Amino acid sequence: MPATTRRKRVTKSPDDRRDDILRAGQRVFGTTGFERATISELADAAEIGKGTFYLYFESKDHLLGALWERYVDAIVSTAQEILDESDGWWPTIDRVMGALVRHAIANAELHRIVYGSANAKALELCRQANQRVIDLMCAFVEEGTDAGAFRAGDTRVAFRMAYHASDGLLDDLIGQGDERADIDERRVTAMVLELVHRALGDHTYAPALTHG
């Protein structure tokens, strides 16, 4: 009798296994949809058992929240690098907001999953992650206000308003696009920068299509 062929068991570190689940989650959510995706399907895509899935994530809501947190981690890291370079108040704002636009467009599929099909619990987890970006930038804006660079009545509130407006515009444009998010990045970036400049008190700003 021939020996039974068994699939070789692969031992992975917890970090590698978690990355496998995250990658599988994005694939499944992108094809099946968040609402219809099951834990069994997610576990199969990651080549693990359901019990292993629950060792890493409480639910598919938390998996989606972790995907979004990873997305936000990249934004925060990029923004912090730009802030650390101290390129002047307005140039820094421009570079960070330009980076945010590029990052959103590059991750259009994840945006559509989160804002197109996620439930209230998953959206709340994503909102909490977004707050890290807002807090980081509001601290910078407050420093710029103290230095006299930004002159709105309440610059923290003004920036939050401009940030949420820009984020909402990107989600709307991405939601209307195809898988490649056919968006004019330079034009959108110019509009976002104009909005932020006006919100923070720079009413002489002339937008250009060369930012980003």
Q: Give the model confidence (pLDDT) of 120-173 as tens digits.
A: 887 887 888 889 999 999 999 999 999 999 999 899 999 999 999 998 899 888
Average pLDDT along the chain? 88
The whole-number pLDDT of residue 9 equals 57
Judged by DSSP in three states, 132 sits in: helix
What local confidence, expressed as pLDDT, does residue 129 receive? 83
Look at residue 11 in the predicted model and tell me its pLDDT.
76
Cβ–Cβ contacts within 10 Å for residue 36, how many? 11
pLDDT level of residue 177 (50, 70, 90 thresholds): low
Higher pLDDT, 119 or 190: 190
Give the H/E segment covering residue 175. Answer: helix 155-176
Query: Higher-confidence residue: 202 or 117?
Result: 202
Whole-number pLDDT of residue 75: 92
- Assign 107 to helix, strand or coil: coil
For residue 5, pLDDT over 70 is answered with no
Return the DSSP state at 148: T
64 Cβ contact list (under 8 Å, min separation 6): 25, 29, 34, 113, 114, 118, 122, 125, 126
Give all domains of the chain, ordered by start, each with its CATH number: 12-57 (1.10.10.60), 59-199 (1.10.357.10)
Is the distance from CB of 56 to CB of 24 less than 8 angstroms? Answer: no
**Residues written for the chain:** 212
Secondary structure string (H, E, C) spanning 3-66: CCCCCCCCCCCHHHHHHHHHHHHHHHHHHCCCCCCCHHHHHHHCCCCHHHHHHHCCCHHHHHHH
Report the distance separating Cα 166 and Cα 94, nearest Å. 13
pTM: 0.82
CA dihedral sign, ordered 143, 147, 149, 151:
positive
